[in-house]
Amino acid sequence: MSANYAVVLAAGQGTRMKSKLYKVLHPVCGKSMVEHVVGQIEKLNLQQIVTVIGYGGNQVKEVLRQRTEFAVQEEQLGTGHAVLQAEPLLGEKQGTTLIICGDTPLFTAETLTELFDYHQQQRAVATILTAIAPDPTGYGRIIRDRQGNVAKIVEQKDTTPAEAAVAEINTGVYCFDNQALFQALHQVTNDNAQHEYYLTDVIEICQKAAQKVAAFTMKDFNESMGVNDRVALSKATALMRQRINEKHMRNGVTLIDPQNTYIDSEVKIGADTVVEPGVVLKGETIIGENCLIGAHSQLSDSLISDNVTITASVLENAQMATGSNIGPYSHLRPQAKIGERVHIGNFVEVKKAEIGADTKVGHLTYVGDATLGRQINVGCGCVFVNYDGINKHHTTVGDYSFIGSASNMVAPLRIADHAYVAAGSTITNDVAAHDMAIARGRQVNKAGYYDRYPVAKAAQQTEQAEKNSK
């Protein structure tokens, strides 16, 4: 079996994107375009992948790291010139080389495998990946002879009326005999209007040398979409999102409104989970089985076990154990770990805190830098006060304790098992087991003081108006 290689063209700046971000690094469903391309190529088990980078290429290196080798195109002199930069790495190799652009995030490993197989079956020196376009305007046309062989590729501006009517287009993806490729590249000239070295000229050079050129037509034209501006980026994202959502639904996930559900490519979801409209699932989020992800929730890089309910809440780098629930309108920030059957109610924020099984944090509470044990009740409006203006400090609350409403726990602090904090307290000292801590001013009732305040006069006026209206 011959060796297979790939060259990813990622040197273009993408001026039409009108962005400071390198073109191939623009994200589609949570990953940059070039990561999508390389990810699919990696499934082909190739011997070597070379990514051709140019201006700003260090950003691409930082994203891809050790997944590919890199060649640098110092000047943007065309696609043929770009591929030629990989010659020091591939030029002496025997085998087949795939050429693909880094701004085509929708290609699948299945299609690329079919291209490789067809290329080898045809014993071709070059094979062009083609597609049937609903509207071929702007694409290079594949012109075949009467036997169905490739006669030439004609760019849009050079087509005759008959050629312009051809729907089969060049996707810009090729398989080449590796050594024939680099030999032909040295024959390519820049004698054209753009003064660039075009990769497509290699096809004509091969044909003139009586070498076989084949063309394989892919099944789905949409895979071939290249992204050159923000409009195309949005279309590619919509197609990728549709592909991702269909995969989850076929795997047993219910998406109530797939068109308004936004799931990144690396997200995993268990069977019988229901995802309501407006949900955004980002990064490497993993969701178990039988969960309910309520409308307009947003989860990023979070781990959700089975039978969890999330209602209109935001989670980032957080974990929720089996049977727990949250929301509405609550926020789990990084390093929040919610235990089994824990209830996190509405308007609760948890940050860098672990909450033990069966504990309840009902509403309007902030839990930061804390460890809460099992079976604790945290009342409404509590604050775990963790920041002194310079450093963060930790609070520990033991099992079966009770934290009364409107209490402040000022860290560093340790509240033992079976302890009680009275409502309205500001706790600054440790609390021992079975003790009740109360830290608030003693109530004093001042007789007749109500009548001294404006509220009394307003009440009198209202009462008089009610009597007059009867």
Give 442's DSSP letter: P
Angstrom distance (rounded) from CA 136 to CA 372: 62
- Which residue in 234, 324, 310, 248 sits closest to 279, CA to CA? 310
Helix (H) or strand (E) holding 340: none
- Is residue 60 classed as helix, strand or coil in its secondary structure? helix
Find out whether the peptide bond into 412 is cis, omega within 30 degrees of 0: yes
Contact, 260 vs 278, CB < 8 A? yes
Please confirm, yes or no, whether 186 is among the known catalytic residues: no
300 bridge partner residues: 282, 316
- Is residue 401 classed as helix, strand or coil in its secondary structure? coil
Q: Phi, psi at residue 362, to the nearest 5°?
A: -70, -50
Angstrom distance (rounded) from CA 269 to CA 282: 12
Contact, 396 vs 410, CB < 8 A? no
Catalytic option among 248, 363, 393, 434: 363
Q: Phi, psi at residue 84, to the nearest 5°?
A: -60, -25
Contact, 344 vs 350, CB < 8 A? yes
Catalytic residue annotation:
363
